[in-house]
Amino acid sequence: MTKDEGKLAKLVPCLLEAIKTFKMEKRNAKLEDLARKLNITKKDAEKLIELAVKNGFLKSRESLELTEKGEAAVKAHRESYIHDKYVHGTGIFGRISRIFERKNKNMRYHLRRRHGIDDKAINDFYSSIRSLKGRVEETIPLTRLSEGEKGVVSYLLGGYGMVRRLAEMGLTPGTTVKVLRRGLLRGPVQIEVRGCRLALGYGVASRVFVKPVGRKVHD
């Protein structure tokens, strides 16, 4: 595999996510739309589709239907991205801790044993990322929205008690939330959701992940 082919291969999970989103929205996944979504040429998109079919992630070039292996690849990509970037973080200590976890194969067990997330919250988390529309890289913590900006809740990451409290406040996947005011130095975040105004502590707000409305996220 050449260097360019290797770079292209890393985009396979992103391609699968894009195709999955089009299917969920009951739209045809056209080549030009996939290329635009992934910011690549149509020629590279064709190569990417061929690679996905060859490796058993797609049933055929014509149907662009994900196989069981393809669905598993999307799930693994999403959970790995969220775990590495938001559970551990991208700082030096996060990178060091991830080195010691490279052999981990059971993320569900790992989240429960190493990060203290209970089974009910893990089930809700997996249900949310399975039905996520778009790429996981397009989601960010609520704390990264600017004042006046809106986002659609994608998933929650935390224990069941916290997830349940947020759900009771109306913060459930698919709900639009607007940031009214951000406190200084990681102070409370004031939001509007379902017509109500609420204040969330910074730590809790950082566990609510949204897809911004009207802007692209650059990972």
Question: Hey, where are the domains in the chain?
Answer: 3-66, 139-212
Residue 91 pLDDT exceeds 70? no
User: What confidence tens digit (pLDDT) does each residue in 64-87 have?
Assistant: 999 999 999 999 999 989 998 888
User: What confidence tens digit (pLDDT) does each residue in 11-46 have?
Assistant: 999 999 999 999 998 888 899 999 998 999 999 999
CATH number 2.60.40.3950 is the correct assignment for the domain at 139-212:
no
Kindly tell me the burial class for residue 90, based on how many C-beta atoms sit within 10 Å of its own C-beta (0-12, 13-18, 19 or more).
Answer: exposed
Task: Encode the chain in three state secondary structure.
Answer: CCHHHHHHHCCHHHHHHHHHHHHHCCCCCCHHHHHHHHCCCHHHHHHHHHHHHHCCCECCCCCCCECHHHHHHHHHHHHHHHHHHHHCCCCHHHHHHHHCCCCCCCHHHHHHHHHCCCHHHHHHHHHHHHCCCCCHHHCEEHHHCCCCCEEEEEEECCCHHHHHHHHHCCCCCCCEEEEEEECCCCCCEEEEECCEEEEECHHHHCCEEEEECCCCCCC
Stretch among 71-75, 111-115, 165-169 having the lowest mean pLDDT: 111-115
**At 126, which amino acid appears?**
Y
- Report the C-alpha gap between 59 and 67 in whole angstroms: 6
In degrees and rounded to multiples of 5, residue 53 shows phi and psi of -70, -45
- Report the C-alpha gap between 111 and 94 in whole angstroms: 15
User: What confidence tens digit (pLDDT) does each residue in 134-146 have?
Assistant: 899 999 999 999 9
- Selection from 142, 203, 137 nearest residue 175 by Cα: 142
Query: Left, alpha or beta for 122 (phi > 0: left; psi -120 to 50: alpha)?
Result: alpha
- % of the chain at pLDDT higher than 90: 66
* Reported confidence tier of residue 1, pLDDT bands at 50, 70, 90: low
- What's the confidence (pLDDT) of residue 88? 65
